[in-house]
Amino acid sequence: QTVALIGGGGFETPITYMPFTLGWDGTWLGQGVLGHKRISKVGVSFNFNIRGTVDDEQEFADKRFEGRSSYAYLRGMFSHEESWANDAQLAVRGGWQLASRPLVSNEQFLIGGVHTVRGYLEAAALGDDGVNLSLEARTPNYAKHLSDSLDELRLLAFVDGGYVSIQQPLDSQEPDFTLAGTGIGLRFGGWGNVTGSLDWAVALKDLGRVERGDSQAYFRLGYAW
């Protein structure tokens, strides 16, 4: 990582270590009382580093105030989707992290961007502890009404939010950040194995150069084989 100094110049903060992760994931499929389909997913991981493996304690101290090589944190994710008889969908997803001590930036929890809080740049804010939550309402699948080549075509509306906090911040640092955004989007797939998405989001809170009311667009295109 390169740290730039005000007035020009900078310095490198290299770091070498071997982190360990123990994780568990679960998926549940079922039906609601009205016969609609539902799917739930939960995941949790324990992430840690053992002091004295391949790390250098000074590198952790250089990279983060009060940083230590013997860190540990819990990180989790969850999602739930309800599919109604008319094929409309309601989905919620999120993630969280709890840390034992100040973490180097590589291990911190990130919010902002297409996967967490839309309306902001990717990884707009980071902290040692944090949480994010997204709620989406999706229309029925209109694909077959338009073309046999399409497998999926849905419109959606969403609200995203996220919060991160920094343990033992410096006097010049903000101790926490809260982000929120809302917008609309499109999901499509077809023509073999092509998938894509387009989201337009408006930021609901100020953060750095992003002011409340500023907007961001996100486009993704993929192909599976």
Q: How many domains does the chain have?
A: 1
Residue 148 falls inside a structural domain: yes
The pLDDT tens digits of the residues spanning 23-62 come to 999 999 998 777 789 999 999 999 999 988 888 898 999 8
Residue 215 falls inside a structural domain: yes
Residue 49 falls inside a structural domain: yes
Residue 11 falls inside a structural domain: no
Residue 5 falls inside a structural domain: no
State the pLDDT at residue 68.
92
Residue 147 falls inside a structural domain: yes
* Tokens at 128, concatenated: 């040692």
CATH at residue 181? 2.40.160.50
Residue 180 falls inside a structural domain: yes
Helices (H), the chain: 57-63, 143-146
Q: Cα–Cα distance between 127 and 174 in angstroms, integer?
A: 10
- Name the residue range of residue 184's domain: 20-223
CB atoms within 10 A of CB 34: 8
Task: Please identify which residue in the block is written with the tokens 């309306």.
Answer: 119
Q: How confident is the model at residue 6 (pLDDT cuts 50, 70, 90)?
A: very low
Residue 47 falls inside a structural domain: yes
pLDDT at 160 over 50: yes
Q: How confident is the model at residue 10 (pLDDT cuts 50, 70, 90)?
A: very low
| pTM, rounded to two decimals | 0.89
pLDDT at 11 over 60: no
What letter does residue 60 receive in the DSSP assignment?
Answer: H
State the pLDDT at residue 130.
98
pLDDT at 81 over 80: yes
